[in-house]
Amino acid sequence: MRHLRLDQAGEIQAWLDERAEEMATLLESLVAVDTQNPPGRNLRTAAQVAAEAMQRLGLSPEVINLAPTGALDEPTIVRGAVGSGTRLVYFHGHLDVVPVQDLRQLQPERRAGRITGRGTADMKGGIVSMLYGAAAAREFDLLRDGQIVMHLVCDEETGSAVGSGYLQASNMIDARGLAMLTPEQSGGAIWNAARGALTLRVTLSGREAHVGQASRGVNAFEHMLRVALPIEAFAREMARGNRSTPMAADGVPKAMIVVGGTSGSGASFNVVPGSAWFTIDGRYHPQEDIGSIFVRLREMISETARQVGADVSIEVLQEAQSSFTEPTHPAALLLVQTIGAVEGVVPRFEMCGGALDTRWYADLGIPAFGYGPGRFDVSHGPHECVDEAAVRRCAAVYALYVGQVLSG
Ligand SMILES: [Zn+2]
């Protein structure tokens, strides 16, 4: 039966190729909505564009308006479904994009089978793949007694706490889900693992004094330097190769930490700074426990601050758990087979260098993978683009994969 399903690869591809124009048009209309995050504007408008397309494709969209929060402008989730039954496969995407380098990136350009613009690779092109993949799965009767549930969230680029956090808090992710796919720009690989992220802002307080009476002040900048030094040493220690773990290739760092990516102090050059702050941003291997890393960082900071007699406060700007699904999991092997049937190559498994929304599903025990039509090396850059044929092939992978998982 599985073999038979994969034999449909050619037919499904042909069905998608007939829809090349409407798929390109949908991608262009998604790119044309400026969803740069930060700051996170026009999120409801983008959700409406996606929901209208889902309506046309028979994917029963429901637009969920979330309470305003922080800088996000009208945070919104789109949830859709096709098929019925309790056997679930999740497709998950995000409508926000990283800030542009040039405003012209918000005007999509279609040329020679390629669409250029912000979000084409990460991941509005992927959203087109997942929606048309779901439509093809229904068209080719691949759903049987199962269904695809689709989620489009609004703030993945700034940590997902609002959109995916809502899905989690509202129990909208069923732990019985058989698999989850998110069309991130994996460039032909399968992202079965993603690093966790922890971003801290450390603020030291001192006492202001005019330069003429500098000896009366307490220099918070000096405190900051002394607190930051041991953290930098910790960063070097964590960056050493992690050769002992079975999933890591030789030389894969345990963690990548940037100390002082942003920093600041003082009111003026002629005043002893009364406060100083710096950030610590880390990306951690799935085998590292972010909770204990946080405890260790906090202890190091508090200990040094105590030694130098400084007041310190620590703010968590971002915390995202890592994510990992075994590459030998049956759902992973089915994905390898499916990609092989469409692309004609055996994909490799990779760990994504950043955080992925797979974690919201993997946390519940659902095998979760990043796989999309975009390339990693162009996403977030000034020449971000996606090949239209790659978007259609990825849609075929999504459709066939559902057939594989639900026929098991
Ligand atoms: Zn993305």
How many degrees, rounded to 5, is the angle at CA 80 between CA 354 and CA 387?
50
Question: CA–CA separation, 61 vs 48, rounded Å?
Answer: 10
Decide if 151 contacts 62 (C-beta within 8 A): no
Which residues, 6 or more positions from 200, have their beta carbon under 8 angstroms from its beta carbon?
279, 280, 281, 294, 297, 314, 315, 316, 317
Reply yes or no: is the peptide bond before residue 39 cis, omega within 30 of 0: yes
Among the listed residues 43, 28, 195, the one whose alpha carbon sits nearest the alpha carbon of residue 119: 28
Is a pLDDT exceeding 60 seen at residue 244?
no
pLDDT in tens, 26-43: 999 999 999 999 999 999
Q: pLDDT grade, residue 5 (50/70/90)? A: low
Give the pLDDT score at 80: 98
The 10s digit of each residue's pLDDT in 94-133 is 999 999 999 999 999 999 999 999 999 999 999 999 999 9
Residues within 5 A (CB) of ion ligand 1: 122-123, 184
CA–CA dist 296, 291 (Å, integer): 9
Distance from the alpha carbon of residue 122 to the mean position of ligand 1, in angstroms: 5
Categorize the per-residue pLDDT at 248 as very low, low, confident or very high, splitting at 50, 70 and 90.
very low
Residue 356 is given by DSSP the state: -
> From the CA of 42, how far away is ligand 1's center (Å)?
17
CA distance 21 to 15: 12
How far is it, in rounded angstroms, from Cα 135 to Cα 81? 10
Residue 385 C-alpha to ligand 1 middle, in angstroms?
14
Q: How far is the CA of 68 from the centre of ligand 1 (A)?
A: 22
DSSP β-ladder status, 179-182 and 87-94: parallel
Whole-model pTM: value is 0.87
